């Protein structure tokens, strides 16, 4: 999975939740954790839509 594309996709999803990544950027460890979770979940559920996986993971991240 292309990391640059994934970052842009995550950024756009976060904007829907009202969080501006440019204003509140992820640390390297936060990004590594999020991208790792997204990739692992996609591998576990190859037939699932990436859009749903990313939104589920970001929702969990934002509400913890």
Dump pLDDT digits (tens) for 9-49: 999 999 988 888 777 788 899 999 999 999 999 999 999 99
Q: Are 18 and 50 in contact (CB under 8 A)?
A: no
Q: Which domain holds residue 15?
A: 3-63
Q: How far apart are CA 33 and CA 3, in angstroms?
A: 13
Q: Are 42 and 50 in contact (CB under 8 A)?
A: yes
Task: Report the pLDDT value the prediction gives residue 41, as an integer from 0 to 100.
Answer: 96
Task: Report the pLDDT value the prediction gives residue 3, as an integer from 0 to 100.
Answer: 86
Domain count, the chain: 1
User: What six digits make up the tokens of 14?
Assistant: 């976060």
For the cut 90, the answer to whether the pLDDT of residue 50 exceeds it is: yes
């Amino acid at each position: 999975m292309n990391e640059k594309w994934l970052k842009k996709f995550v950024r756009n999803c976060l904007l829907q939740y009202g969080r501006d990544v440019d204003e509140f950027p992820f640390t390297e460890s936060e990004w590594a954790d999020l991208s790792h979770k997204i990739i692992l979940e996609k591998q576990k559920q190859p037939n699932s839509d990436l859009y749903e996986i990313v939104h589920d993971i970001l929702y969990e991240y934002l509400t913890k």
